[in-house]
Amino acid sequence: MIKKIESHSLRDYLVKEKNLQNENGIADAVREIIHEVKGSGNEALLKFINKYEEKKLRCIDEVLFNQDFLEDKFNSLNDKDRNMLLYMADRIDKFHNNDIRLFKEFEDDTVEKYGYFLRPIDKVGLYAPGGKAQYPSSVLMTGVLAKLAGVNEITVMFPGKIDDLNLMFAASHLIGAKSVLNSGGAHTLAAVAFGTETIERVDKIFGPGNNYVSEAKRQLYGEVGIDSLNGPSEVAIIVDENSSIEYAAKDFLAQAEHGEDSRCFLIHLPGFDLNQFKESLKKNLSKSKRKKIINEALKNCCSIEASSLKNAISLSNLIIPEHLEILIDDIDLNKMPVIRAGAIFIGTEASAVMGDYCAGPSHVIPTGGQGRFSSQVSLNDFYIKTSYIVTSKNSYKKNGYKTLLDESINIAESEGLWEHANALKERDN
Enumerate the active-site residues.
322-323
Beta strands 234-239 and 123-127 are unpaired
* C-alpha 285 chain-centroid distance: 28
Give CA–CA dist 392/111, Å, rounded: 8
Long-range contacts, 1-6 (Cβ 8 Å, 24+): 1/278, 1/281, 1/282, 1/298, 2/264, 2/266, 2/278, 2/281, 2/298, 2/301, 2/302, 2/303, 3/301, 3/302, 3/303, 4/302, 4/303, 4/304, 5/302, 5/303, 5/304, 6/304, 6/305
Residue 385 identity: K
Give CA–CA dist 230/212, Å, rounded: 10
| Cα–Cα distances in angstroms (integers) from residue 10 to residues 196, 222, 393, in the given order | 46, 35, 63
- Determine contact, residues 372/105, Cβ cutoff 8 Å: no
Residue 4 identity: K
Q: Which sign does the torsion angle of CA 106, 111, 112, 117 carry?
A: negative
Give CA–CA dist 40/44, Å, rounded: 5
* C-alpha 68 chain-centroid distance: 28
Q: 249 in helix, strand or coil?
A: helix
| Cα–Cα distances in angstroms (integers) from residue 71 to residues 124, 135, 169, 199, 289, in the given order | 20, 18, 8, 20, 31
CB within 8 A of 231, min separation 6: which ones?
A: 21, 211, 214, 261, 367, 368
